[in-house]
Amino acid sequence: MTAAFLAEMRREGREIYPLADVFWQARSGGVLSTVPAYYSSSPCLHYNPLIVEGGWGNVRSGFQLRPPGSLERLTTTLKLNDIDRSITRTLKGACDQRRARMLLRLGSPRLATSDWYTFFDGILADWTYEGVDVTLNAGVDDRALQGFVPKQPVLAGAFRGAPATSLGIFLPFVYGIHDSSSLSGSGMVPTVCISFDATLGYRYCPTIGQARSVPRVYLNKVSKTIVADPPGAGQVSITYPIYGGLQVTSINFGTAPAATDVVTCDIEGLTVDGTTTGAVILNPVEQFKHLLVNFAFGDWRSGAWLADSTAPIDAASFAVASTYAAQLLYEGSKVYGGSTTPIVVGQVVQDFLQSHPMLRLYWAPTGKLRCIALDHRYLGYLDAPWIKEEQDLSEGSSLVQPVDGSSVMQRVNLSYLRGEADGKYWSSLAVQDLRVVEKTAESLQWPWSSSRYV
């Protein structure tokens, strides 16, 4: 809230009104556009007083405290008087109004619109009719979470030398350091053959983008010698070509492998600046944010990484959570892709939350995704910073934090240190508290855990 808005709220005789901006879909001459409509509960500026008494629904947001947390959808309702049926005609018109933007604010004719308080920014999901009233049910625009990653399959047009067995496979992206040298010694990450041709070369891709390095390559679990490009007989090189606008990391063989040979590698994944000289993204919060911005909400292909501002995320909250993870020396690693079946982004979210029980995600009323840490460290007695955090979380909405006895566990079995090439977790940990009377146990997997043994 701005200082001007707070001053108006405290002023005797204040004029604060609930206001709704709905951007209806319209089509004219085959061109799709939006036509804004303005609704209020009382006459105010150019707003039409159609919001019925009590028709302003609560904005509900929340998360589960019991791990793994889940990302709850933020929702609200708006009830409008439609005595002239103009809203009904719009809803039943030629254009599908689902996903029309809805902006709910508290405003005043005494204030500049930049000082109005936005407490919901989302899209129309559906609606119900009740007599002369219409209730608009809205939610946050989380359509990207229903999409898939990765988004770039191997296509014959872009990868002209790709074998038929590779076509349709979604090229993977790799975060973190994957090191098998103290484990199997035969490579932690599988690859996808993107060229198997005497003229175009014998090339295998472990990740899209430029990996920091590929220190070890294995052919059928036998280490190969890595040299500068071009490789000689029995050698391999690492290059970063662009196919159909998509930059990849390529392992190039000087001698043709057999079509059935298996190529794996150890790899230091994507970097903070997208180059081979940048630092590897190791902080799991930064990894997850990078994935959301570039591969979930965005569709990066080459060049500089997409800016955080291009995705509906609250960068400030991610920065705080990132600091928390860095202070506790959290390190993450993950591979997505490498098969003909992409992963639903919602599953990526659950994988992340499952791997980091002290981190939670929730939607802010402004339609941005936030990340917070459930800081378990002792910070002394409750004081103003903690109270302020509670205020920041709620922002006038009802933040749901259910707590019940089902969270109590006597024993936890944890699997971590994922090896994608072998399809298994290399390490496990069991923790038991004999003082707990409930004979309960839970088995957890950390798919985003570090993939190197140190």
Q: Let me know: does 95 contact 27? Beta carbons within 8 Å.
A: yes
The whole-angstrom distance between residue 261's C-alpha and the CA centroid of its chain comes to 35
Question: What's the pLDDT score for residue 27?
Answer: 87
Intervals of the chain under pLDDT 70: 60-69, 378-407
Q: Can you give the residue ranges of every domain in the chain?
A: 3-141, 148-306
Question: What's the pLDDT score for residue 441?
Answer: 85
Question: What's the pLDDT score for residue 72?
Answer: 81
Q: Which of 245, 255, 288, 365 is nearest to 1 (CA)?
A: 365
Direct distance between the N- and C-terminal alpha carbons of the chain, in angstroms, rounded to an integer: 47
Structure token pair of residue 215: 């220190």
Question: What's the pLDDT score for residue 66?
Answer: 61
Would strands 133-139 and 117-130 be described as parallel, antiparallel, or unpaired? antiparallel
Question: What's the pLDDT score for residue 387?
Answer: 43
Question: Which regions of 29-114 does DSSP assign to beta strands (E)?
Answer: 31-40, 48-49, 51-56, 60-62, 75-81, 101-107
Fold of 3-141: Thrombin, subunit H (2.40.10)
